[in-house]
Structure 1
């Protein structure tokens, strides 16, 4: 399976992840949520594998700017709708590789993932 990195190019964490992959000679393709979109079925697969709680970035400015009534009572369906409507609410980066599916970047974890 080819490695695919999903995210937003101006995100600092995505920049770190891309730099790490480049520095370690890991071939990958980059999928920009905003420019390239995100299929609902793909997001559902991530939710099924990781859980919506792990994917929804509640600490980001996009989520924090939501009205309180949109934040209250979140469940899988409402979180999915928010993430599809505003992909910046997805924790980044999401990476699909032969080692499986992951979200976020930590150099130590990635060293093991791509060893």
Structure 2
């Protein structure tokens, strides 16, 4: 079963979940807002995608960060902020077995799951 990391009310996450359902791919949602994330998973995601790609700069959480935090963001500080405020993590993320996807793109999902 595939675990999709995100927030259940996010439109992009909903698109990904709907695509997986339509393509009969067993999945479950790990909701950042409800369950949070652990530091080990966050380190794996950073190693796969880079910390810059994990930060959702279009989110309300990003807009609410202080200008100082935004200006001084580094790998170490980003991982701490992402751990403390997981709604800042770009979504959805699938990071399992040989699958690594961030965001939702139909062509990427097709290539990953129908190959």
**TM superposition score normalised by structure 2:** 0.93
Matches within 5 A, 1:72-87: 72-87=71-86
Compute the RMSD of aligned alpha carbons.
Answer: 1.1
Partner residue in 2 for 1:21? 20
- Pairing 1:62–2:66 present: no
CA contact (8 A) 2:3 2:96 kept: yes
Deviations 1:7-56 (A, max 9, x none): 11000100110001001101112111121221111101111121001111
Count matched residues. Answer: 114
Partner of 1:40: 39
Whole-Å Cα distance in 1 between the matches of residues 44 and 88 of structure 2? 17
5+ residue gaps in structure 1? none
TM-score (norm 1): 0.93
Q: CA–CA distance in 2 between the matches of 1:52 and 1:106? A: 20
- Answer yes or no: is the 8 Å Cα contact 2:45–2:95 preserved in 1: no
Q: Which has the higher contact order (CA 8 A, sep 6+)?
A: 1
